[in-house]
Homo-oligomer: A and B are copies of this chain.
């Protein structure tokens, strides 16, 4: 087994006893060294965004003092959900390895396949309002913005 995936598994399996959240682990690697390892902490933190991948990204960013993890790799015990996919994308991580697919995690009853299907539809219930006010933000930002882009 891949040595970094093994650590992601250790995180996932440890959480079955700890019950800080679901059995999911993630590891972030840079230059062949582990920068951060994490597991799902949704229950511990009462935070539905505290998935293993998000926790690993937060830890790695804290350690490296940056919000940009370009050049890092992420190993996840199972395929990142759409939220984590977006988090990985914003972090700048481009190399990602996962083990279990949604079909596998469905056996854990976390409903990843259903979530992924709903993800495609959910915007249908969103409402756009007050769009004509938005230039207010564009103007204020254009007046003051500096060179930080992310």
Contacts and interface: CB of A to CB of B under 8 A. Distances in A.
Interface of A: 1-2, 5, 9, 12-13, 16-17, 19, 22-23, 42-43, 46-49, 54, 57-58, 61-62, 65-69, 77-79, 81-92, 94-101, 104, 107-110, 115, 118-119, 122-123, 125-131, 133-134, 136-138, 140-142, 144-146, 148-150
Copy total for this chain:
2
Q: 8 closest pairs, A vs B, by CB? A: A83-B86, A100-B134, A82-B86, A48-B90, A48-B67, A99-B130, A96-B126, A23-B141
Contacts of A82: 82, 85-86, 89
B43 A67 contact: yes
Contacts of A83: 83, 85-87, 89-90
